[in-house]
Structure 1
């Protein structure tokens, strides 16, 4: 609970400090940091490597385990709505669940470790609030695992709140 309050305080502080330079940040940024919440809860760092292309690192908790996903995302403008973009891409993930603590749906024995790695696809929307440094996003990230749970994960969706540096 304390962590949530601290994160919200920092976000509001950054919003107040950046109103002057926000108009110059339409696409003049390279890095975004933020939080992820939905079927998972965690953080994200997005680094643009070209005008439409970005590398996105997601680190989050799911089923009491930890998962990291590294994705490439290609962004497309939606010209009818200023500040709205959609993106699509793919990448890979790796997750670990420690004995007695994790509850992934494929658990056979509670006293052993489980790992999962595989490939991901991602599609989503991202909206810039009135040319500020804050972006609200929504994504769907289906994945396929190659270890322990060798099957399709199609239920991973989340909101993101990002801040451009």
Structure 2
């Protein structure tokens, strides 16, 4: 049930992201990026620019044998000294599920039931566009605070994301 709820949430968020009008980037093309995340978790990412400097990103990833989805708003700023490099800040929310008997979240000794977590996220990162390509590489740190009593702060979420823009 909770897995289908998470899948429904992710599908709805992707529909919202693709319904938002695309922003015309400075290079003259539209920016929607799809990528693979690897770090403290593994998963995927869809990022869509809504203006030249702001984007909406949906991340779906696996961690501690459970699934999480995060929807974030990000504001991008150029680093003038490095061509193709930007840094970004943002925030949003997340929802995660861990299904028993595979559940191994760090706040329990042994998974005996299904667990959920939801809360707010902050993100800070660097993104590099390989010159004259549609390939991007980013590194971000995404601490999160959960509203569920037993999880509180997740400060260690960091990942590299390899993206393709179309």
Give the shorter-chain TM-score range: 0.7 to 0.9
C-alpha distance in structure 2 between counterparts of 1:109 and 1:35, whole Å: 30
SS at match of 2:117: strand
Q: Contact 1:52/1:75 (CA < 8 Å) preserved in 2?
A: yes
Query: CA offsets per residue over residues 16-51 of structure 1, 9 Å max, x none?
Result: xxxxxxxx9846222000000000100000011111
Alignment-derived partner of residue 31 in structure 1: 32
With the length of structure 2 as denominator, give the TM-score of the two structures: 0.81
Q: 1:34 to 1:121 in 2, by over 3 A?
A: same
For 2:72, what is the secondary structure of its paired residue? strand
State the shift of 1:149 in Å: 2.8
Matched, 1:144 2:145: yes
Question: Counterpart in 1 of 2:114?
Answer: 113
Please list every run of 5 or more consecutive structure 2 residues that lacks an aligned counterpart in the other structure: 1-24
Q: Give the structure 2 partner of residue 102 of structure 1.
A: 103
Higher RCO (CA < 8 A, seq sep 6+)? 1
CA distance in 2, matches of 1:26, 1:134: 14
d(CA) in 2 for partners of 1:104, 1:124: 26
Residue 135 of structure 1 corresponds to: 136
Match of 1:158 in 2: 159
Counterpart of 1:81 in structure 2 is 82
User: What RMSD over aligned residues (CA atoms) do the two structures have, in Å?
Assistant: 1.6
Give the number of aligned pairs.
142
Tell me which stretches of 4 or more aligned residues in structure 1 moved more than 2 Å. 24-30
Whole-angstrom CA distance in 2 between matches of 1:148 and 1:40: 22
